[in-house]
Amino acid sequence: MTALLSVATTLLLLAAIYRVVQRHIGFQAQRPRDYAQLSPPMDIRKHLSGPIRCEGVIYGPTGRVSSRFTADMLGHWDGNRGVLAEDFTYDSGTRQSREWRLSLGNDGRILAEADDLVGQGQGQQEGAAVRLSYTIRLPESAGGHVLQVTDWMYLVDERTIINRSQFRKFGIKVAELVATMRRVEA
């Protein structure tokens, strides 16, 4: 019994150390203020407006590419409220259409809604980056799982955004997405 208690205590300690490291080092430790001084500054009303072409990959829980995709997006803004329509085509041939409804506060805070979100997403734009956190329900064809998502978008230049997202279930990373989004000039 003492050995079992010792193993359980060690596992709990390792789990606690892992959580502390994740919160202070790496992807989850980023904060919008980390990018406040980077330029050019990102304004989602400008950089997520008009036609956008996206290419990306999704990594599964083992770190290997599990899916590739392209997407055509179209953003429209009326003041601080916008809609970003997304039409995805995956390497499997599956198609998916989604629509984000976004509100930008004067302080850079972002509220996000979409039909597949559980509740409302929240984010912040600051400097050359945007963070958006939300809970998503995957389509039944993808298992119907409910995942916590953190999206980071980094403005590279006036036309290019790099998007990196991590998907977690019960705090464990189960997928990661990396994509390039480029505004298409009319």
Give the pLDDT score at 17.
Answer: 64
> Along the 186 residues of the chain, how does pLDDT read in single tens digits?
687 777 777 777 666 666 666 565 677 877 777 777 877 889 999 999 999 999 999 999 999 999 999 999 999 999 999 999 999 999 999 999 999 999 999 999 999 999 999 999 999 999 999 999 999 998 888 888 999 999 999 999 999 999 999 999 999 999 999 999 999 986
Phi and psi at residue 5, in whole multiples of 5°? -65, -40
Domain ranges of the chain: 1-30, 32-183
Give the pLDDT score at 114.
Answer: 97
Nearest to 54 by CA among 92, 85, 93: 85
CATH number of 32-183: 2.40.128.20
Q: What is the DSSP string of 134-183?
A: EEEE--GGGT--EEEEEEEEEEEETTEEEEEEEEEETTEEEEEEEEEEEE
